[in-house]
Amino acid sequence: MIRLTLWFVVVAAAVVVGLRYADSLATLGVSRVRVEADLTPSELDQVRQAIAAELARPGVRGAAHVAAAVERLGWVRQVRVRRQLPDGLRVAIVRETLAASWGEEGFLTTGGDVVVVPPGLDRQPPDDLPVLKASLSDGVQAMDVYNLLSGSARHAGLRIGRLEEDRAGSWTVELGDGTEVVLGATALRARFQRFLAVYRGALRDTVAQVERIDARYHAGVAVRWTSDVRLASVQPPDRRQANPPALVARAGGSGGTRQ
């Protein structure tokens, strides 16, 4: 039993050393580098410079070193480096898909990773990306909230232009037309669905006159109008009633209990 154990340890160590040696061999004698990716000319130039700088460093550089150098560009999601005998190196790259602006300078991928895109690139992110800001949540959590709400918004014909979390953890949605919907810190999906029910039943034709909607109520939403600055508490439509009532209160009235 003791001999078998020692033999296993020696073999395992040899395998590890062999893998490291094979990785180092991946960049020995490289004179051609083939980059496979859907990149703009400036992005391709950045990749080539990163690879050339890594291969020029003293010491034997492995495939993992080359991949890490490309990943440090910041906008790359996946890199695969393989040797093409006799003297070639194949580098396959998948770039990140940007889903939202993040803060002042960064962007978020669909998975919530933060990416900083250099301003000199000839392929800049689209101008119509939603803007996400959060005081307490990280990028992954912010994207989770956005994904939780954006599908329902699109189904109703609306677009989320901005999603922001304040220092108290309260979330506010700004629609594409500038209308704000306050959701608070809990039950975000239920409150957004409540707003959408009111929107479909009472606000679809007058949403251009709405400035702000507060959905932190048990049985309705409070609406601030842009014209005469009224506050309206509108109940979601009751499917059992053909003509559901809309409760409207002047400024100072709530028409409901806020959560």
Beta bridge partners of 79: 93
**Total domains present in the chain:** 2
Question: In this predicted model, what pLDDT tens digit does every residue of 15-55 receive, in sequence order?
Answer: 333 334 344 445 567 888 899 988 878 888 889 999 999 98
Q: Do residues 75 and 118 share a domain?
A: no
79, 95, 111: which is the final residue of a domain?
95
Mean pLDDT in residue range 162-190: 96
Structural domain of 245: 98-249
Q: Rounded to an integer, what distance in angstroms lies between the CA atom of residue 235 and that of residue 121? A: 49
Q: Do residues 154 and 213 share a domain?
A: yes
Q: Do residues 119 and 214 share a domain?
A: yes
Q: To the nearest 10°, the Cα dihedral for 185, 189, 194, 200? A: 130
Mean pLDDT in residue range 178-184: 95
Quote the pLDDT of residue 152.
Answer: 94
Q: For residue 64, is it within any domain? A: yes
38, 64, 95: which is the final residue of a domain?
95
Q: For residue 227, is it within any domain? A: yes
> Is residue 119 within 8 Å of 150, Cβ to Cβ?
no
In one-letter notation, the amino acid at residue 134 is A
Q: Rounded to an integer, what distance in angstroms lies between the CA atom of residue 93 and that of residue 36? A: 6
Q: For residue 254, is it within any domain? A: no
Q: Rounded to an integer, what distance in angstroms lies between the CA atom of residue 86 and that of residue 202? A: 71
Q: Do residues 136 and 153 share a domain?
A: yes
Q: Which of 35, 28, 29, 38 is nearest to 49 (CA)?
A: 35
Quote the pLDDT of residue 118.
Answer: 67
35, 67, 95: which is the final residue of a domain?
95
Q: What are phi and psi of 95, to 5 degrees?
A: -85, 160
Question: In this predicted model, what pLDDT tens digit does every residue of 123-136 receive, in sequence order?
Answer: 566 778 999 999 99
Q: For residue 259, is it within any domain? A: no
Quote the pLDDT of residue 246.
Answer: 40
